[in-house]
Amino acid sequence: MTKAEIDPYRRRLLALKRRLVGDLSELEEESLRPVGGEPSGGLSDVPVHPADLASDDYEEEVILGLLENEAQLLAEVNDALDRIGRGTFGRCENCGREISRARLEALPYARYCIRCAQKLQADTGG
Ligand SMILES: [Zn+2]
């Protein structure tokens, strides 16, 4: 791929990275912020419904899950930008063939062609 051909992907990756970095710092703040008051006692005059506590727990789990996924995605995006820098972007890291444009449109950070991705996924059982 020529530099001009890669450029739209690079721009998308950079935009995605910006969004992910923004999201991550926001989510981190969210999950680090103390929720409610003390864990027990001290606030007996404040009505706290058990359902509220449960939803807080759930929310925290969801946020931590997002954090993990987004951190992973950010790592993929950084790797893709790295490959652009090295001139190997758009080439499968497994077989060395070009990754189809359709696949890169959907996943600009894809590191394997569709065949290898499916094969590797089958191999790891995931
Ligand atoms: Zn491949």
Statement: residue 93 has pLDDT above 90:
yes
- Return the bridge partners of 98, or none: 91
Looking at the predicted structure, is the pLDDT value of residue 38 above 70? no
Please give the distance, rounded to the nearest whole angstrom, from the Cα atom of residue 122 to the centre of ligand 1. Answer: 14
**Residue list, CB under 5 A from ion ligand 1:** 92, 94-95, 113, 116
Cα–Cα distance between 49 and 80 in angstroms, integer? 47
Please give the domain boundaries of the chain with CATH numbers for all domains: 3-89 (1.20.120.910), 91-126 (no CATH)
Task: Write 96-104 long-range contacts (CB < 8 A, 24+).
Answer: 98/1, 104/9
d(CA 119, CA 30) in angstroms, rounded, equals: 38
Of the candidate ranges 22-26, 41-45, 64-68, the one whose mean pLDDT is the lowest: 41-45
Residue 78 C-alpha to ligand 1 middle, in angstroms? 20
For residue 85, the CA-to-ligand 1 centroid distance in Å is 20
Residue 53 is predicted with a pLDDT of 57
Q: How confident is the model at residue 107 (pLDDT cuts 50, 70, 90)?
A: very high
